[in-house]
Homo-oligomer: A and B are copies of this chain.
């Protein structure tokens, strides 16, 4: 086995990273954040330094910096500092990240606000206004359901994988 990273075949890891990143891109994520995220996800530690990311992905420190900032804002990675060092590590926080993925809460709230304005400006009695009110109800419904779904996931996860976070 070709093994240049200390445990795995570097090439097949890289291949997975790029292919998973491509899926994320297709789903709307920017390219650099997607690649960085995929790299972190497939690292054994679940964490990498800026330099390691730059080397594996062949990108500049500036690109790492920008990508990581985006991911941190979305709560998909967290940054940690080894005490007494200027070096940071970026970490995929266990299952926190996919909870963030479904936590489109902010997005849903904005949609709901926009639809609410739509109902108001079109008039609740017009056909368009009524259609929009129903759409709004749908998003409010989804909003409420998601919390319950995530709770069920935690239970299921616990019993299947053991060890809560």
Count of identical protomers in the assembly: 2
Main SS at interface, chain A:
helix
Given contacts A20-B114, A114-B23, A145-B149, contact A41 B135 (CB under 8 A): yes
Given contacts A98-B135, A107-B27, A142-B149, contact A121 B16 (CB under 8 A): yes
Task: Find A138's partner among B44, B95, B110 (CB 8 Å cutoff).
Answer: B95
**The stretch of A55-63, A66-74, A81-89, A153-161 that contacts the partner chain:** A153-161
Assembled-state Cα–Cα distance A149/B141 (Å):
9
Given contacts A23-B110, A27-B107, A134-B161, contact A118 B46 (CB under 8 A): no
Chain A, interface residues (CB within 8 Å), range: 35 or more
Q: List 9 A-B contacts (CB under 8 A).
A: A16-B118, A16-B121, A20-B114, A42-B128, A44-B128, A94-B131, A95-B135, A138-B157, A142-B149
